[in-house]
Amino acid sequence: MRSGPPRPPARLLKAIAPLILTGGILLIPRPDEVQAEGWTVFAIFAGTILALILRPLPLGAIALISLTATMLSQAVEPDVALGGFGNPTIWLIVCAFFIAKGFAVTGLGTRIALGFVRLLGRRSLGLGYGMALTDVVLAPATPSNTARAGGVLFPIVRSLSTLSGSEPDDGTRRRLGAYLTLSSFHVNAVTSAMFATAMAANPVIQQLAGDQGVSLSWAKWALAASVPGIVSLIVVPLLLYRVFPPGLRDTPEAPREATRRLAELGPVARAEKLMIATVVLLLLLWSLGDQVLGVSPTVSAFVGVCVLLIAGVLSWDDLLAERAAWDTLVWFAVLIMLAGQLQELGFIGWFSGQIASGVDGMSWQVAFVILTLVYFAAHYLFASNTAHVTAMYAAFLTTAIAVGAPPELAALVLAFESSLFASLTHYATGPAPVLFGAGYVTLGEWWRMGALIGAVNVAIWMVVGGAWFRLLGFW
């Protein structure tokens, strides 16, 4: 028997504010270009985002309520609204949680983490760079940034943190876990921007730019991204180390302890070998799969989970008990559905049109900077890089070219931003919910650091990148 929880006035206010926002937006006369249903979805979406920030209830409960409101308002049919639960990107994320569980139950995560600690662990900053190096090495061959950050790096971050006595829920999260989580997350946005094959939406961008007559080859992309990319990779872990410092800084005893514990662990066990084989298989499938074998990143991830289940490395009960996976399934599915409907029902198109008309008549330099900033900030409205790119890339590129920006410059800058804006929120991109879901970083920290690192990356890619693109002759 249980009674409802106590309801302090603060909680009531937190619950009412999103309702007022949604109701207020519904009262504004909608623009003609937006369908009535699209305006309703926007009102619900805005209320949902406010509720996610104020947190009168856990994320999953808010998502369920938003989903129900969307269906009840008849803005979206139930089978479409529930369709988010069948989205392949979401199941890639769910599988990434399950695979990460394999690192935990076999103890392999601990072993890899100990290796890293032995190699780079004299300072926690060294660990941040160790993660960054791993990510950039994997990036050219891993077209799913979720697989990379969520499937490969996240379990190592998790193990490293636990090894250093940093857990999400016992007051030790800032000791190491919070720093490593955010550093890996923001580095992932940078590595995603660096190669045409490093993020799922990048090939979409190549296609859309090609439709506007701008050819972005793999080599041109990598060359253009190289200099600003390397600068960002150097700056991001260090900047976070200054403004969001881990409690643990100098750790001279860590490598010694790691060496001792690795000796204790002894030889690699059967389950660990199976786990290594699975991860190697996954990396092969993720790097070759889509183009060479026709196996999508999601299907590859399911193959990995099946191998772990069949080999007995993971039990079905391990998966059912992985609450974070089910939690993420629910709230990410609802946000992806809402974001998709915003586009489907004309809101995004109207929104892009407003922007384009706003910069009419300015010099191309000013207009282009405004366009890129708006394109970047608009990602607060999106739960996926791919959705944002699909919805807005072509419109913004067309507008930029129309106001006089050099086509190659415009195509590349918008392309890079399409990865970099993934820094902004905890729902911005595939790995975001995985890393946020681990619980090391609060929502407030996530958004504040997201805005800071996002701004710094934009500055680096505009100033350093701008000079480099000029040198390359793109403008």
Q: Could you list the residues that contact a copy of itself (CB under 8 A)?
A: 1-5, 7, 15, 57-58, 60-61, 64-65, 67-68, 71-72, 74, 78-79, 82-88, 91, 105-107, 269-272, 274, 294-296, 298-299, 302-303, 305-306, 309-313, 315-317, 319-321, 323, 326-327
Measured from the CB atom, is 311 or 451 closer to a copy of itself? 311
CA 20 to chain CA centroid, Å, is 29
Q: How far is the CB of 280 from a copy of itself (least distance, A)?
A: 18
Measured from the CB atom, is 437 or 454 closer to a copy of itself? 437
Contact 374, 355 (CB under 8 A): yes
Q: How far is the CB of 313 from a copy of itself (least distance, A)?
A: 6
Q: Where are the alpha helices (DSSP H) in 289-322?
A: 297-310, 316-320
Q: How far is the CB of 242 from a copy of itself (least distance, A)?
A: 36
Residues with Cβ < 8 Å from 310, sequence gap 6 or more?
Answer: none
Q: How far is the CB of 443 from a copy of itself (least distance, A)?
A: 15
Q: Residue by residue, what is the 3-state secondary structure of 243-264?
A: HCCCCCCECCHHHHHHHHHHHH
- The two three-digit tokens of residue 294, written as one number: 């026709």
Measured from the CB atom, is 73 or 212 closer to a copy of itself? 73
Measured from the CB atom, is 2 or 242 closer to a copy of itself? 2
- Rounded Cα distance between 244 and 446, Å, is 11
Of the candidates 355, 387, 377, 374, the residue with the CA atom closest to the CA atom of residue 447: 377
Measured from the CB atom, is 179 or 332 closer to a copy of itself? 332
Q: How far is the CB of 110 from a copy of itself (least distance, A)?
A: 9
Residues with Cβ < 8 Å from 357, sequence gap 6 or more?
Answer: none
CB atoms within 10 A of CB 225: 25
Residues with Cβ < 8 Å from 4, sequence gap 6 or more?
Answer: none
Of the candidates 164, 173, 171, 169, the residue with the CA atom closest to the CA atom of residue 124: 164
Q: How far is the CB of 322 from a copy of itself (least distance, A)?
A: 9
Q: How far is the CB of 163 from a copy of itself (least distance, A)?
A: 14
Measured from the CB atom, is 37 or 272 closer to a copy of itself? 272
Measured from the CB atom, is 295 or 373 closer to a copy of itself? 295
- Rounded Cα distance between 268 and 257, Å, is 19
